């Protein structure tokens, strides 16, 4: 669609070489789940003569390694617990369901961003730079920042090909409100013809409304705690609130139907939330929940340390001695082999 629209708008000229065009529309790393590339960015790279660049290839392999870790170790293990809680939610306490919703939040992030890392790394082996698709969205301080960092290629696509043609924010508050709700509802419908996706989109539109109305949606363009090791107290609270709102919206996204979503939420807000999470929710899993939570904490720490880079381990350990740095890489490989549970399909294959 963007290719045809860009030609219609005279942004690009039609590509006359059928092979080059075919490579653009079927470039295998991004074909299944993105990022969503545009002809203006990808076609010039395809047409340009490229030579093998060992530094790019090494960087690409490093990003592939991190993407596989996110998918196999974090996402697939979180999926077991998330599936158990969502599929049998009436049997568990509110605290268990909250934990299951948090696991789903990390499942969908690590699954989808893991695929994107693999796609970007693979393309870099061929000397092609794809659009960045995730920029540590769970470290966002408000919903507007979250949507600048989550599925960037889709968000920017809706902005350029839907929001701006509708008038963007030039027509006053009513125009901004209308257009914002339209793009979020379309985003929900894009994921599937189900009321749960539309409610998910509607919730995110509501979340972002204060930023739109008070013109604070461009307040956090830099990375949180940039140049510092730790965030301020205010930044920490803002990140916690943003993450909590996101997890709440994910409940609708993951639920089979609206009735299940509201029943799930009613249990979350019941007295059972003050109980300890129930271990029987994890009885059928491959790995002990304590191990997965420990791996998840290690993952969050590494992501936090590398949050100012293109991906978490882009510069991680670069100043270490070579044997120590390779021990770190081999530990990731070991985690993939040892903690990898039953392989699960990439979650965005269905969208």
Q: Indicate the length of the chain as a whole number.
A: 351
CA angle (59, 291, 230) in 5-degree steps: 60
> What is the full per-residue pLDDT of the chain (351 aa) written as tens digits?
889 999 998 988 999 999 999 999 888 888 777 788 888 999 999 999 889 999 999 999 999 999 999 999 999 999 988 998 999 999 899 999 999 999 999 999 999 999 999 999 999 999 999 999 999 999 999 999 999 999 999 999 999 999 989 888 777 788 889 999 999 999 999 888 899 999 999 999 999 999 988 888 889 999 999 999 999 999 999 999 999 999 999 999 999 999 999 999 999 999 989 887 876 666 656 566 778 889 999 999 999 999 999 999 999 888 888 899 999 999 999 999 988 766 677 777 666
Dump pLDDT digits (tens) for 258-280: 999 999 999 999 998 988 787 66
For residue 194, how many C-alpha atoms fall within 13 Å in the half-sphere facing its CB? 16
Averaged confidence pLDDT in the chain: 91
What pLDDT, on the 0 to 100 scale, is given for residue 34?
Answer: 72
Q: What is the residue extent of each domain of the chain?
A: 1-45, 54-130+223-234+245-351, 140-220
Torsion angle of the four alpha carbons 232, 235, 240, 245, in this order, in degrees rounded to the nearest 10: 170
Closest CA to 92 of 347, 264, 311: 264
DSSP labels for 128-189? --PPP--S-GGG-SSHHHHHHHSSHHHHHHHIIIIITTTTTTTT-HHHHHHHHHHHHHHHHH
Q: Look up the pTM and report it.
A: 0.93
User: Could you list the active site residues?
Assistant: 191
- CB burial class (10 A; 0-12, 13-18, 19+) of residue 93? buried
What sign does the dihedral 23-26-32-37 (CA atoms) show? Answer: positive
Say if CB 179 and CB 166 are below 8 A apart: yes
Comparing CA positions, the residue from 128, 31, 74, 119 lying closest to residue 301 is 74
């Amino acid at each position: 669609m963007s290719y045809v629209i860009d030609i219609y708008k005279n942004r690009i000229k039609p590509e006359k070489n059928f092979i080059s065009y075919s490579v653009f529309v079927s470039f295998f790393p991004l074909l299944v789940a993105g990022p969503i590339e545009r002809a203006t960015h990808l076609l010039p790279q395809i047409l340009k003569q490229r030579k093998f660049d060992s530094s790019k290839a090494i960087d690409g392999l490093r990003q592939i390694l991190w993407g596989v870790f996110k998918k196999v170790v974090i996402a697939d293990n979180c999926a077991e617990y998330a599936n158990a809680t969502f599929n049998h939610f009436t049997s568990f306490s509110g605290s268990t369901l909250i934990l299951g919703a948090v696991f789903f939040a990390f499942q969908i992030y690590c699954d989808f961003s893991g695929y994107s890392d693999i796609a970007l790394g693979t393309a870099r082996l061929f000397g092609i730079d794809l659009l960045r698709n995730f920029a540590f969205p769970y470290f966002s301080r408000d919903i507007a920042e979250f949507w600048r960092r989550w599925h960037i290629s889709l968000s920017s696509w809706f902005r350029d090909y839907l929001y701006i043609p509708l008038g963007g924010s030039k027509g006053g508050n009513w125009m901004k409100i209308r257009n914002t709700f339209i793009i979020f509802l379309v985003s929900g419908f894009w994921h599937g013809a189900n009321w749960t996706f539309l409610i998910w989109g509607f919730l995110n539109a509501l979340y972002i409304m204060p930023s739109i109305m008070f013109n604070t949606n461009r307040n956090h363009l830099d990375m949180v705690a940039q140049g510092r090791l730790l965030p301020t107290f205010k930044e920490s609270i803002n990140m916690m609130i943003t993450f909590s709102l996101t997890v709440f919206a994910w409940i609708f996204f993951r639920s089979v139907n609206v009735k299940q979503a509201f029943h799930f939420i009613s249990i979350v807000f019941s007295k059972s939330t003050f109980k300890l999470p129930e271990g029987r929710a994890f009885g059928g899993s491959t790995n002990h929940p304590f191990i997965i939570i420990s791996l998840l904490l290690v993952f969050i720490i590494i992501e936090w340390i590398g949050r100012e880079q293109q991906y978490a381990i882009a510069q991680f350990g670069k100043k270490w001695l070579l044997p120590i740095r390779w021990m770190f890489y081999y530990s990731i490989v070991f985690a993939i082999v040892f903690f990898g549970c039953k392989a699960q399909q990439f979650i965005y294959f269905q969208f």
